[in-house]
Amino acid sequence: MKRIVILLVLVFMMFHAQAQSELGKGKIVFSDSSIQLDGELNEPVWNTLIPEGGFLNYIPNNGDLASNTTEVKMFHNGKKLYISAVYHDTAPDVQIGSLKRDDIRTSGAESDSFAIIIDTYNQQQSGYFFIVNMGGALIDALVARRRDGFNVSTSWNTTWNARTSTKGNLKIYEVEIPLKAMGYKAGTPEWGVMFHTRNIKLNEWTTSTPIDRNYSQFDLRFAKTFEVENLSENKSSRFTVTPSVTMNHSEDVTNDTENTKIKPSVDVQFNVSSSLKLDATINPDFSQIDVDRQVTNLSRFSVFFPERRNFFLENSDLFTGLGVSEVNPFYSRRIGANNEISFGLKLSGNIAKKTRLGVLNVATKAKDDTPAQNYGALVVQQQLSKSFTTTGFLINRQETDDFSFADDYNRVAGINLNYQSKNNKWTGLANFAGSNTDDTSGDTNFYNLGVWYNTINVSGYAGIRKVEKNYITDVGFVPRLYHYDAISESTIRDGYTQASGRITFTKFYKDSKTIDNHRYLNMYNETYWDDQGDVTQATIGVNNDLVFKDQSLLYGGLRYEYVNLKYAFDPLNNGNAIRAGKYKYLDAGLGYASADNKKFQYGGNVSYGSYYSGHKNRVTINAQYRLMPLARLQVRYERNDIDLKALGTETFHLARFTGEIFFSNRLNWTTYIQYNTQFDNFNINSRLQWEYKPLSYIYLVISDNYNQDIIRKNWGVAFKMNYRFDF
């Protein structure tokens, strides 16, 4: 396996391609001016700047010159970056989907909005993403390279502001971003920058640089280089302190107990430099975060849920991108899952133009029979060239006893190599890692190699990975390594090898008034072998998607699966487990999603087929109604009917209602109601959130849990207030 990885890494180096066409360079000029942020653009400095224009269609009619023009101007005064955008709409109407901060899908993509992407190192590795919609809702995010593309994390927050206005058909955006909010080096005054405008009424995206539809709009490889005039290091060290207090009352009705506590905590951030940040959290409380969306899980393995806690999300791509899907050595939700966190420290950012560093250390408290733990991570990312980036890492979990370390530990170390061809068509990823656990030796490695190909009409992937049975990652997420035997009620660790591939053909119809694109073939395969070389699972699927000009979607597909089940599995939770053996099944599905620029949106899908020794059919329905700028209502229902013949039948229901009421773009009330019969849970979570000062919040959260027969199990109410001090 090692030889295969080394050979294919060498193949990466043989790829050769022509660089993409030069976009030319722009300039962000220096002006010793300031403005009153009001969305009016009536300061004299705006009249002295040369606008950026020539926006192109991204959706629909990709690559055509946008019929509705956009003019963008920029300057900085040494402390703040100012950006204005004027969008020439065809009508005076404004349409927004949400007023909630950081709701990138609804406040951003489903609203009339303006987006800014800034790569302050111009290295196409990571950057900053700012969006403001015409209702004044702000979205700030981090963009980072991830496998064959880029990933966005909206849980990163910084202090910035924007104002909007309309004049006839003109949509005007005025943006103010403190330079100290972004990491940069004064010695490298060239930034990669691009802009997007969104007209949700026409379901249209436009971009300031040419981006083919097979790439995301925030792909940093398509940014235009801008020279930043008179850029100097920010001399004032930024020191932010955010103390908070949480008052929490909870009652366990089942066990007739209750608990009331007041918990103070503090978060501190210090800019070691303009590109390197030190974060600290003491006695943190995360009671205000959104609840996880419940799912129906009919697989044999655990489901991934994203991290939502802010402390773990600053420069999170350094830590979360260390592996591949379902084989990741670092999964921050493991930290604090069983014990409260007492403190955490994190140093992250650029220590040189092409070098990024991530250091994390978190300590948890002892609880009952669960001992205290210390979690550490060290990550170094080095850009070797425009095409190659390498990352080395060390992850550590160790039991602690007061201030000493115990002999119970788990460590994972590894190295990754990313490849990106100059024409952006080829991407490669090679991984090697090994784990070290106090009572385990042998078979402790992980190997992976993946190659992606991506053009406007054809894309594909081929990959192979091997996970040895003792590749233990206590702070990671490797669900397929662990198998629960429903008869012996034990968990067995089994190594495996996986080979997977995918090929997709898509045709775009610029001249059609009805069809936008047709993905007429998407074929994929995944095959798993155990350590004895026997196939344990093989999946072959074929999909077909049709996207209309209004971006509504009709889709369908077939899936064939072969399972060589080695351990008994009880998907019905009725004590009648499916026995070990060989099973083959086939299912088919069809679905539709309406256009997302209407007040009322709807969609759903159905599937039917065999399932182990029986059959399964699935139906999902979802709908959304916007009464903006006042409210947004969503419902989703999923039904799974399973018939395993002699083993029994079961119907699992999953229903979710989400209601959002907007008093302003800083005050909102969100309620989730979730009903899940698979896990015997009916949950209500209601949260009032007020951003009374930039990044200073008051939360009131009520949570109520019942079983599926609507008998209360427990409930609680939490009040949290924090205040952000900027020095």
Contacts of residue 22, defined as CB under 8 A and 6 or more positions apart, other chains included, come to: none
d(CA 720, CA 120): 35
pLDDT value at residue 20: 37
Asked if CATH classification 2.40.170 holds for the domain at 241-274+386-396+404-726, the reply, yes or no, is yes
- Residue 165: CA count within 13 A, CB half-sphere: 10
- Look-up: residue for tokens 């049975």? 469
Residues of the chain with CATH 2.60.40.1190: 25-228
Mean pLDDT in each 10-residue stretch from start to end of the chain (727 residues)? 48 39 78 91 94 92 91 94 96 93 92 95 88 95 80 84 95 94 81 95 93 89 92 70 93 92 91 84 79 83 79 76 91 86 90 89 89 94 90 95 85 95 90 93 95 94 96 94 93 96 95 93 96 95 95 96 95 92 95 94 96 95 94 96 94 96 95 94 94 94 92 94 90
pLDDT at 305: 77
Left if phi > 0, otherwise alpha if psi is -120 to 50, otherwise beta: which for 183?
A: beta
* Whole-number pLDDT of residue 314: 66
DSSP labels, 423-449: TSSEEEEEEEEEEEETTB-SS-EEEEE
- Which residues fall within 8 angstroms of residue 276, CB to CB, at 6 or more apart? 183, 347, 348, 349, 350, 351, 357
Q: Which CATH architecture has domain 25-228?
A: Sandwich (2.60)
pLDDT per residue over 624-636, tens digit each? Answer: 999 999 999 999 9
First and final CA of the chain: distance in angstroms? 53
With 0-12 / 13-18 / 19 or more C-beta atoms within 10 angstroms meaning exposed / middle / buried, residue 477 is: buried
Contacts of 134 (CB under 8 A, 6+ apart): 94, 95, 96, 111, 112, 113, 164, 166, 171
Q: Where in the chain is the domain with CATH 2.40.170?
A: 241-274+386-396+404-726
Work out the number of other CB atoms within 10 angstroms of the CB of residue 47.
Answer: 9
pLDDT at 6: 47
Bridge partners (DSSP) of residue 328 are 477
Query: d(Cα 250, Cα 263) in Å, to the nearest integer?
Result: 14
What's the pLDDT at 23?
66
pLDDT at 140 (0 to 100): 93
**Is residue 411 a contact partner of residue 472, using CB atoms and an 8 Å limit?**
no
CB 554 within 8 A of CB 545: yes
Cα separation of 382 and 416, whole Å? 10
Residue 574 structure tokens? 């009725």
